[in-house]
């Protein structure tokens, strides 16, 4: 039977803005030794600002237009940022054959031309020679009808709360904090260094994230739990695979919230440590 204090623990967590979907997760949270975190939308705001538009073939507005049309059906934070920067009405009748290529970008037929918008991996995949760019921010390359068209540079910001979140995890007794991201090595390393994370794995495809978590699950001690924290649609398989899946519910996708065992109702990653501390206290009372 479930000790009465466990209900208090779940109630206490919910007052702090964290939904724990079952009393068994309190115990797992209290015994967590590894916290694995997704970057975009979890540690960073996930709402990017466009800082540069480059093309030697189109005007900046034209390039933004191609990108906006190609990204129209995507709900990725990158797509949202590009659409916002373009800011004009979209004629969806001009868009056909949309394909989202996970961890790479998008492909769509716009006004009869095939448009690719995504990272260097996507350009390599489609054999498009792209311009090498300075490693600041996230670069979205564009190709129109098989020809390189330019790039859009966008920059994400670390959440104000993230630094404190990592410090609090160490205080709560977490042995290792590890970041997983599909973003470039340059961007990933910068965020990991700024936040003092123990480890960062970058340029991962969604399937690579699952694989990394599986590896880490095998390496950890038997009673030490692994918690994964994420917010995106792509994160659902990883959330399901970890001992405890924690979704950032503030802006998180429905798929992530559904797949998670614990949901943080705000966009503050420091709540991860908060709920771990509450769980430890609850277990001490129960014993």
> Residues interacting with Mg ion, by CB under 5 A?
38, 40, 232
* Minimum CB–partner distance for residue 202 and ligand ADP (Å): 9
Tokens coding 100? 């989202």
Q: Of 118-157, which residues contact ligand ADP (CB under 6 A)? A: 118-119, 138, 140
Q: Is 71 in the site for ligand ADP (CB under 6 A)?
A: yes
Among residues 120 and 169, whose Cβ is nearest to ligand ADP? 120
Least Å distance, CB 182 to ligand ADP, is 2
Q: H-helix or E-strand containing 135?
A: none
The item of Mg ion, ligand ADP, none sharing an interface with residue 141, based on CB under 5 to 8 Å by kind, is none
Q: What Rg value do the Cα atoms of the chain yield, rounded?
A: 21
Q: Which of 10, 28, 30, 39 binds ligand ADP (CB under 6 A)?
A: 39
Closer residue to ligand ADP (CB): 9 or 232: 232
278 binds, among Mg ion, ligand ADP, none (CB under 5 to 8 A by kind): none
Least distance in Å: CB of 48 to Mg ion? 12
The CA-based dihedral angle spanning residues 121, 240, 277, 264, taken in that order and rounded to the nearest 10 degrees? 70
> Reading across the β-sheet that carries 147-155, which strands appear in turn?
49-54, 147-155, 138-144, 113-118, 105-110, 95-101
CB of 235 to Mg ion, least distance (A): 6
Question: Is 38 among the residues known to form the active site?
Answer: yes
Q: Is residue 98 a contact partner of residue 108, using CB atoms and an 8 Å limit?
A: yes
Burial class of residue 146 in the structure, from the number of CB atoms within 10 Å of its CB (0-12 exposed, 13-18 middle, 19+ buried): exposed
Is residue 273 involved in binding ligand ADP (CB under 6 A)? no
With 0-12 / 13-18 / 19 or more C-beta atoms within 10 angstroms meaning exposed / middle / buried, residue 77 is: buried
* 18 class by beta-carbon count within 10 Å (0-12 exposed, 13-18 middle, 19+ buried): buried
**Binding to ligand ADP (CB under 6 A): which residues in 161-220?**
181-183, 206
Tell me which of ligand ADP, Mg ion, none is bound by residue 71, counting a contact when its beta carbon lies within the kind-specific cut-off of 5 to 8 angstroms. Answer: ligand ADP
**53 membership: H or E segment, kind and range:** strand 49-54
How many residues sit in the footprint of ligand ADP (CB under 6 A)?
23
Q: Residue 214 — φ and ψ, nearest 5°?
A: -60, -40
Does the protein bind ligand ADP through residue 277 (CB under 6 A)?
no
Tell me how far, at minimum, the Cβ of 74 lies from ligand ADP, in Å. 4
Catalytic residue among 38, 156, 183, 231: 38
CA dist list (Å): 47 to 50, 166, 204, 233? 10, 21, 20, 16
Residues serving a catalytic function are: 38
List of residues contacting ligand ADP (CB under 6 A): 38-40, 71, 74, 76, 78-79, 103-106, 117-119, 138, 140, 181-183, 206, 232, 234
């Amino acid at each position: 039977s479930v000790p009465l204090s466990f209900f208090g623990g779940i109630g206490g967590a919910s007052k702090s803005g964290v939904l724990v979907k079952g009393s068994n997760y309190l115990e797992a949270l209290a015994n967590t030794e590894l916290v694995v975190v997704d970057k975009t939308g979890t540690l960073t705001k996930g709402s990017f600002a466009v800082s540069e538009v480059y093309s030697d073939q189109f005007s900046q507005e034209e390039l933004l237009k191609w990108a906006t049309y190609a990204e129209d059906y995507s709900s990725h934070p990158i797509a949202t940022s590009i659409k916002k920067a373009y800011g004009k009405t979209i004629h969806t009748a001009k868009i056909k054959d949309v394909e989202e290529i996970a961890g790479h970008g998008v492909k769509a037929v716009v006004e009869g031309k095939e448009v690719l918008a995504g990272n260097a991996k996507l350009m390599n995949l489609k054999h498009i020679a792209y311009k090498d760019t300075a490693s600041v921010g996230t670069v979205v390359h564009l190709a129109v009808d098989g020809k390189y068209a330019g790039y859009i540079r966008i920059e994400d910001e670390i959440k104000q709360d993230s630094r404190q979140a990592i410090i609090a995890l160490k205080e709560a007794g977490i042995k290792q904090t590890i970041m997983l991201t599909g973003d470039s090595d340059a961007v990933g390393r910068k965020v990991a260094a700024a936040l003092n994370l123990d480890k960062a794995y970058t340029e991962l495809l969604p399937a690579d994230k699952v694989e990394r978590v599986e590896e880490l699950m095998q390496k950890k001690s038997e009673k030490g739990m692994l918690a994964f924290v994420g917010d995106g649609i792509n994160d659902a398989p990883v959330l399901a695979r970890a001992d405890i899946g924690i979704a950032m519910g503030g802006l998180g996708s429905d798929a992530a919230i559904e797949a998670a065992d614990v949901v943080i109702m705000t966009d503050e990653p420091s709540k991860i440590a908060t709920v771990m501390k509450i769980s430890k206290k609850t277990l001490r009372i129960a014993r």
